[in-house]
Amino acid sequence: MKSRSECCSRSVAVTRSARAEWRRAARVLCCAVVLTLTSACGLLPDTEPPPLWAHGRFEDVEYNTLMTVIGATVEGEGYAVVKVDPGTGIVETEWTYGTSQREVRGPSRRKVLAEVESAPSKEGVPGYSVRVRVREEVIRKLGLMATDVRRSDDWEPFPDNRTDAEFLMTKFQALMRPTRRKLSDDYYDRLERFGSGADMP
């Protein structure tokens, strides 16, 4: 039969163990709450979201024609194209301002990046693979003037605008169909501007 002192010692040990477990659980819970709050308040370091590309494949088309159509189409949607590089297959624009994001209740800016690569089919048919993304960044503030928005250092990464990227890809595909209707004179003018493939001023 165990003595009273032995029972008391065991009871004290169990109590101490339970308190230690409780403290450990409390620390874990506290850390989780702090991480959640700092993330919600935007205090964690900015991380670049993964790119969201819209993909397409084009056959029976000349490479230079495809590049110029992509550049002219992007410009026609209000983006200022600054680079059309046939050597790397890259079309890139400047940041475009004047948009906003309801999720963060602040201004946003967007820019387009398109990449073209040679991609023959399994049957050996010549063709090109095109992918396009619309990057987006935001400021989590309200009441900024347009000049302050452009000069601000508070821009932070935001998920790509997949809807706009899919829209641009749909336009590329529509314009590059062999049976496409005749383009307008205005569109031909824009194609001619991009015909050299040089960087835009």
The string of pLDDT tens digits covering residues 174-183 is 988 753 444 5
Residue 144 tokens read as: 């900024």
Residues 63, 36 within the same domain: no
CA separation for the pair 63, 130 (Å, rounded): 11
Q: Is the pLDDT of residue 27 over 50?
A: yes
Pairing outcome for strands 96-101 and 90-93:
unpaired
pLDDT band at 122 (very low <50, low <70, confident <90, very high): confident
Residues 39, 106 within the same domain: no
| From 33-47, 65-79, 109-123, 174-188, the region with the lowest mean pLDDT | 33-47
Residues 85, 116 within the same domain: yes
Task: Write down which residue in 10, 25, 44 finishes a domain.
Answer: 44
* Phi, psi dihedral angles at 83 (to 5 degrees): -150, 125
Higher-confidence residue of 194 and 75: namely 75
Longest dimension (CA), the chain: 105
Contact 137, 155 (CB under 8 A): yes
Residue span of the structural domain in which 23 resides: 1-44
pLDDT band at 123 (very low <50, low <70, confident <90, very high): confident
Total structural domains within the chain: 2
Residues 9, 84 within the same domain: no
Residues 63, 5 within the same domain: no
Specify if 49 maps to a domain: no
Specify if 130 maps to a domain: yes
Specify if 200 maps to a domain: no
Taking each helix axis from N to C end, the angle separating 63-76 and 185-194, rounded to the nearest 10 degrees, works out to 120
Q: What is the pTM of this model?
A: 0.65
